[in-house]
Chain A
Amino acid sequence: MKKVILQVQMSLDGFVSTGPNDEQHWVTWAWEEIRQHVIGLLDSTDTILIGRKLAVDYIPYWEDVNTKPDDPMYEVAQRIVRAKKIVFTKTLDKSIRNNTEVFNGVLTNKINELKNQDGKDLIVYGGTSFVAELVKEGLIDDYHIFLNPVAIGKGESIFSSIDGFTNLKLKESIPYPSGIVLLRYENINK
């Protein structure tokens, strides 16, 4: 069965975003260090799950970068544009973008259906409330958390909706020179 992989930037105090208009200014910019891991994850997947709120900016953003071969993130844009994107929404009902499907039914059913199809794994980057729903429903199989060496005091968390607590299994941790530490966990409460 296919896996759902989460890749996310997180602060020391567990936040992935300072709020609805987060600019991620708090995230340590160390693309050369984490590049190989990020590209590797993109290449191990062929479908991006994405919440509606993020999708409206995210998809046009990467389509734009994909027109600029000199942009340092061009190789990422190429992969994101090429991947199949599934936008989870309660309001939109039709797709307006290439390689993009809109889904507004029951989340768990759709994810389980996708996981049973042939092909590469599924990846999700955000937005926060969509990821929080996936976490709550136990639908994330692998967590790839880039832990930034900064605390931001308040913000939004992907774990805020869980009931009680959830145990994870540590797969590996990788410290980078910039101070980012990649934490890789596996869901053991499936």
Chain B
Amino acid sequence: MRKLKLQVQISVDGFVGRTNGELDWMTWNWDDELKNYVTELTDSVDTILLGRKMTKGFVSYWSSVKPDSDEYEFAKKMLEKPKVVFTKTLDKSAWANTTLAKGDIAEEVNKIRRQNSKKDIIVYGGAGFVSSLIKNNLIDEYHLFINPSAIGKGMTIFGDINSKLNLELVRSKQFDCGIVVNHYKPKE
């Protein structure tokens, strides 16, 4: 069965976003090694899961990247890869390469996991959607990009868990730009 991977930027104090969505706390000057880590992760997947609320911003951001930008190759991948938008409200998708998942979150994810493909599935956000995935124990790989900053309050992805969630560290790597990527999997 295909794996569902989470890639998310997180602060030292465990938040994935500031209260009003400001992006000023994140490290943006990624070194080449970190870029390679992300490229590898991106190339290992062929499906992106998205929460409905962040889809519009996600698609319009990557659509606006110009061909001369450093981000262009990545943007193209984000736009070209099939995306599944999880929603309870939308009836049809307004975006290219995008389908809707309207049913129970666990059933929908398992349906995608069972699809016949050598590549895996990835999710980047948003916070509420990822919280539901974690609560339902649907994440197979956690790639937490720990940014060198603390933000005091904000959005979390672990707020919905009922008791504690034990993970197993697969790999931890420190990057020159100050980000530490911790790769965890659910503890058996």
Contacts and interface: CB of A to CB of B under 8 A. Distances in A.
Contact of A165 (B152, B171, B184): B152
A14 B174 contact: no
Contact of A151 (B18, B24, B158): B158
Nearest to A185: B148
A157 interface: yes
B63 interface: no
Given A154-B159, A165-B151, 13 more contacts: A151-B134, A152-B164, A153-B164, A157-B13, A158-B13, A159-B13, A162-B150, A165-B150, A166-B149, A170-B148, A175-B182, A183-B12, A185-B12
A159 B150 contact: yes
5 contacts: A14-B13, A151-B167, A161-B152, A173-B172, A181-B172
B55 to A, nearest CB: 25
Interface string B137-162: 00000001010111111001111111
Interface residues of B, number: 40
Interface string A134-178: 010000000101010111111001111111111111101101000
Interface residues of A, number: 38
B116 interface: no
A106 B141 CA distance: 47
Interface of B: 11-15, 18, 24-25, 134, 144, 146, 148-153, 156-169, 171-172, 174, 178-180, 182, 184, 187
A69 interface: no
Contacts of A179: 167-169, 184
B148 A167 contact: yes
Interface of A: 11-15, 26, 135, 143, 145, 147, 149-154, 157-170, 172-173, 175, 179-181, 183, 185
Given A151-B158, A179-B168, A168 B14 contact: no
B172 A175 contact: yes
A27 B182 CA distance: 18
Nearest to B187: A149
A11 B12 contact: no
A153 B13 contact: no
A172 to B, nearest CB: 7
Contacts of B134: 151
A158 B150 CA distance: 10
Contacts of A150: 164-167
Nearest to B170: A179
**Most chain A CB within a 10 A radius of its CB, from B13, B24, B148:** B13
A164 B168 contact: no
B159 A149 contact: no
Nearest to B22: A165
A179 B37 CA distance: 20
Contacts of B171: 175
